[in-house]
Structure formats: structure tokens, C-alpha cells
Structure 1
Amino acid sequence: MSKKMFRDCMKEYIAGLMARNASPETISGYSKDLEMVNRFLEQRYNGFVMLEDIQTQDLEDYLTMLRVKRNYQPASVNRHLNTLRSFYKYAIKKGWTKENVVAPIDQLKAPKKERTFIDEKEYQQLVHAIEHPTIKTIIQFLFFTGLRITECLSLTLEDVDLEEETIFVQNGKGNKQRKIPISPKLLPVLIDYKENIRPDTESNFFFALAKTGKVSDVYVNRILHETTKKLGWKKKVTCHVLRHSFASNLVKNNVHIVHIQKLLGHADLKTTSVYVHANQEQLAQAIHTL
């Protein structure tokens, strides 16, 4: 087995992710994580590092550095560990190394984060307080479809079929496609947007501004932040919180978890199950049905 440099393996691993059609977020996140690992190792070894020379202790020290020197939260340290696990799995499969030096490292205990979501009443308050007509429509759209903001903003005019009352998501995570029915509460909002609000532009994006022909996720989140501040809310509401709210409200209405999984475009049911945060009262009610 010829020795390979860690930095070369890293580049090949990222190229492999691209070939597998991993999402841009995954590729960018894993690239940054591995760049940081490489910098740490090159400083430690005073030069280029061979994959074969890396020891478990090196990677444990790297993760400790993230926690102690950089004050990373346990969940962030675990994310770096998961990147390394994924990298080593690939490296072994490719025959670059025989030893998985990450295997002995355990994840840190991370406190379970309570997912923020808003209910129907808060949603009405929020929508009422947003003055920008296009952004107001996008907020309503996210609350009633559960789409990721990147999916929402990349929809074209053809993807939103108001006659068939369906949304065709073509650019889902991992390039997966799915169809979402349009809620009867959302349909008149979208018809009004298309007829009266959407600017006369050559852009093919469904959500468009006159100046740019598109809308950025940063702009939507900024208006959300400004609006919640104006309302005096302590709760931090982002576009992703609206996706959580969609899922949580479906759970509350006893929609089957498999249907929620399909609507959210989750590949794994485990990901969807985090929304089923039943409280003690709901559990008591469940027992009373027996």
C-alpha cells in the first residue's frame, strides 16, 4: 500500500462526495472541518502529514482543542467527529489505510436541544407584523409547506402549479424530488401573490424581487429577525423554525409520521422522529385511550 498524504486523501474524499451528489451544505461543511484537521496536524507534525502516521491520540487532541481553546459546544465537536468517521470509512473502503483511528473515540454527551417552533396564534401575529408583501408570502408559504428555505427560493414558475394545487420540489436535499400538495389556506395567498404582488420580471423564479429577480435566504431571515424584535419576542424565529413548526403542527394533528417524513423530504425516519416530542399530558391521554 503506497503512502498517501492526508491533504490528498481529503481532496479525493470531497470529490467523492460531489460525485455522490451530496448537498452543497454537506460538501462545504465537511471541507471546512477537514481543512481545520489538516492545519492542526501539519502544525503538530511541522509539515505535510501522511494518513498512515495519524494516531488516535492526534485526533483526540484535535477534538479537545476545539472544546477547550475554541469553546465549541459538544454538538459542534461531535459534528467534527462525524466528519472524521465518514472520512475514515471512505479511506478504508478505498484501501488508503487499514486502521480506523477514529473508531475508539466516543461522542461527547450533548444536551438535547429543545426545538423552537411557533403555533397558529404566533404565526398569525408574525404574518400580520411583516410589511414586505413578498416576504410575507414566503413566510406563509414556509409555514404551510415545511420546505427548506433553499428549496422554496429555487422554485420556478413551472414548479408551483396553482391549478393542480401542487408544488414540485426538484432541488431537494441530495437532489431528491418530491411533490407537496398546496393547503387550501395557502392557495388564495399564492394566487394573490402571482396576480398582484409578483413583479413584472424576466426571472423564472416563483419568488422574485424587481431589482434582482430572486430572493436571498439571508434577506428573509433578516426580516424575520427584525419582525420578532419589533413584536418583543424572546423566541428566535428563522426560516428553519417555520419548517419545525410545520412538522410540529402536523404531529399535533395526529398525522402519521411516515406522511410527515415524505412531506419534509427526509431520507431517514429517524430524522423525522425528533418532532414527535410528546409531553407527559399527551402520554397520559394516550394511556386513557386503552
Structure 2
Amino acid sequence: MIMDVPPKLPDQPTRFMDQLRALIRSRNLAYKTEQTYCHWIKRFIRFHGMRHPSTCSKKEVEQFLSHLAVQRNNSVSTQRTALNALVFLFREFLQQPLGELSFELARKPRRLPTVFTHDEVKAVISHLEGTSQLVARLMYGSGLRINEVLRLRVKDIDFGMQQIIVRSGKGNKDRVTLLPDSLLTPLSLQIEACLILHKQDLASGHGEAYLPFALNRKYSSAASEPAWQYLFPAGKLAIDPRSNVVRRHHLLDRGVQRAIGAAIRKAGIYKQANSHVLRHSFATRLLEAGYDIRTIQKLLGHADVRTTEIYTHVARKGGFGVRSPVDDGF
């Protein structure tokens, strides 16, 4: 099953959630946003005993958001995500703006990110091999999220400009990040392997990569072109749930996450860590090297520089470059 391809909706949806999904897609929001909004709206409906949202008002929204803070002890960011979903539901879908809300704010603080030292990253990567190792090196070397790596297509690797183009990243935004010198050869070899597999798929009557419907209509032959093939293709062909076409999608993140998790344990690292720590470590290394925080913000694709600034608290030398007086001796 292809997990990150939006399922096909009826041409004239009648079910509530199908109509909601259709509106979300008409606004060109990312599929991840669609999944998140639908998750919280379903939670809201269940919380109020399966009442239809059109029978609810700001009072019911305030009750739900307060419940998340008080009973569920959710974090500020979780409560804010739920709020965004419900604002979209009432304002955009139901055409019933909520106005000013009054609810109990979440108190659970935002935690500092876990970060690896450079030596720890080297130890983790040494316990990886093949595709998982290259994915990990891209996350650490370019600051990519795991699914940003796995969704890369051949055309997104720009060897001439030595940059990587991230398409429809978080927030459905495109951005550019660096292509490390040490990954030029490995990525060239990966592209060669990817295109050999693509030729085999074409010979067997397949070879079309998934494209969003708008792109598929605009570039009718693009799905079969080498440039649009996924850089990290899946090991097996699968049926696209929207078109029923047999395609080769990209690798799913779960297998790579398991491999990186196992490598962290083999490296003897006892921090609470997962694959995303490699991206955190990229940002921290750049801060330690003295790069401007606005530059780091752009490379990471953060909408707000305050999100990037959290790494100043975990960079080596006290986060602010401060030397402790106890280190000067007595």
C-alpha cells in the first residue's frame, strides 16, 4: 500500500469527510496537512459523542481544546495544531467563523531537541549500509527530513549548482539546500541504479512514477521520464490507490527509521533519539561553525526563525558560546 498518496475521492462526494478532503485539496494543501486536519476533526467529533460539527459552536471547540490541555496534558504545539484544524473546519468548510476563543492553554513546555555530536553521527552511520546509510548522510549533510529525502526525484539533484531542491516540503513549500561534496559520487551512483531499475520497469510495461493530478494533466508523458523517477525507489511495484495504475513508488520511511534506530543502539548511544536527530544535528553543527541563523532557517525550511533559534540552546559550548568560569582553573 502506498501510504503518502492521497486516495481517490468520488467525483461528487456526499460523505462529510470526503467533502472536507475535497475542500482541503482544492486549497492545494499538502497531503500531510490533510491527514492531520482530518485526524483532529475526527477526534473533535468523537469527543462530542459523534455530533455533526454543524450542530456545534465555539463553546464545543473551547471545551475540546481545554480537554487537550487539562485532561490529556498535550503540548502547546499539539493544542495549536488541533486549533488550526478546527478553525479550518468552521471557517472554511462550515462557513461559521469561530471568532475569539477562550480556552485553557496547554502548559506542557516545548522540549529541547536531542542532538548528536559529530563523532556520534559518524558512529551511527558506520553501522548503516546501502540506501539507509545514504539517506542518513543526506539528513545530516543537507538538513532534510526523512520523507523529504525519500521523495526526492532524479531532477531534484542539481550537480551543476551543487544543490538539492526540496519540493513541497513541510507547509507545502519548495526550498533549496546544499549538496555536500562527499555525496556527489554516492548520489551519482544512486541515480544510475535508479535509472537502470526504471528501464527494467519500462520494459515490463510499467515505469510511471506517481505525479499529482494537476502535474499529470499538464505533463502527460512526464511520469515515464527519467527525471521524474524517485531517487530511492521501492523494492516492489504497487497499485496506486487513486488511479489503480501499477507503479514503483519511493521507499517508505518505516524501514529506514528502523535501520537508523538499530544503528543508534549498536553505536552505544543512550540518548532518546531517532532518525530526525540527524537533522537537528545538521542545524547545530552549522550554528557551532558560526553560520548566520537566517541562512540556517532557509536551509531547514522553517517559517519562523524562532523555531531555528531553539538550536542555540543545544549547540556545544553552552549554546551561546559561553565558557564556564570553572574551566579557567583555580
Q: TM-score normalised by the shorter chain: which range applies?
A: 0.7 to 0.9
Distance in 1, matches of 2:283 and 2:319, equals 17
**Once superposed, what is the RMSD of the aligned Cα atoms?**
3.2
In the alignment, residue 36 of structure 1 is paired with which amino acid?
R
Q: CA deviation at 1:224?
A: 0.9
Distance in 1, matches of 2:115 and 2:184, equals 23
Q: 2:151 aligned to 154, 158, 165, which one?
A: 154
Distance in 1, matches of 2:19 and 2:254, equals 31
Distance in 2, matches of 1:191 and 1:172, equals 23
Q: 2:64 aligned to 62, 65, 74, which one?
A: 62
Distance in 2, matches of 1:147 and 1:237, equals 16
In the alignment, residue 75 of structure 2 is paired with which amino acid?
P
**Matching residue of 2:176:** 179
Q: 2:118 aligned to 105, 117, 120, which one?
A: 120
Helix, strand or coil: the match of 2:258?
helix
**Matching residue of 1:104:** 102
Q: Give the conservation status (yes or no) of the 8 Å contact 1:78–1:107.
A: no
Q: CA deviation at 1:228?
A: 1.6
Residues 14-25 of structure 1 mapped to structure 2, 5 A cutoff: 15-25=22-32
Larger relative helix fraction:
1
Distance in 1, matches of 2:185 and 2:68, equals 50
**Matching residue of 1:32:** 39
Higher relative contact order (CA 8 A, sep 6+): 2
Q: CA deviation at 1:88?
A: 4.7
Q: Deviations over 1:24-80 (max 9, x none)?
A: 22221111111121222245xxx54544x5352x344434554676x4533434532
In the alignment, residue 112 of structure 2 is paired with which amino acid?
E
Helix, strand or coil: the match of 1:158?
helix
Structure 1 residue ranges without an equivalent (≥5): 1-6
**Matching residue of 1:257:** 293
**Matching residue of 1:4:** none
Moved more, 142-151 or 11-20: 11-20
Q: Give the conservation status (yes or no) of the 8 Å contact 1:199–1:210.
A: no
Q: CA deviation at 1:150?
A: 1.8
The size of the alignment, in residue pairs, is 267
Helix, strand or coil: the match of 1:274?
helix
Q: Deviations over 1:182-221 (max 9, x none)?
A: 12233243345446x7683016221235545532111110
Q: Give the conservation status (yes or no) of the 8 Å contact 1:85–1:103.
A: no
Distance in 1, matches of 2:176 and 2:86, equals 35
Distance in 1, matches of 2:235 and 2:24, equals 36
Change (3 A) 1:263 1:160: same
Helix, strand or coil: the match of 2:119?
helix
Distance in 2, matches of 1:246 and 1:54, equals 44
Moved more, 255-264 or 205-214: 205-214
Q: CA deviation at 1:251?
A: 1.4
Q: 1:206 aligned to 211, 222, 231, which one?
A: 231
Q: 1:84 aligned to 86, 94, 112, which one?
A: 86
Q: Give the conservation status (yes or no) of the 8 Å contact 2:66–2:103.
A: no
Change (3 A) 1:223 1:61: same
Distance in 2, matches of 1:77 and 1:16, equals 23
Helix, strand or coil: the match of 1:175?
coil
Distance in 2, matches of 1:265 and 1:33, equals 25
**Matching residue of 2:136:** 139
In the alignment, residue 163 of structure 2 is paired with which amino acid?
T
Q: CA deviation at 1:223?
A: 0.6
Distance in 1, matches of 2:266 and 2:314, equals 31
**What's the TM-score, normalizing by structure 1?**
0.76
Q: 2:255 aligned to 206, 219, 224, which one?
A: 219
Identity, % of aligned pairs? 27
Distance in 2, matches of 1:270 and 1:87, equals 28
Q: CA deviation at 1:229?
A: 2.2
Distance in 1, matches of 2:53 and 2:177, equals 48
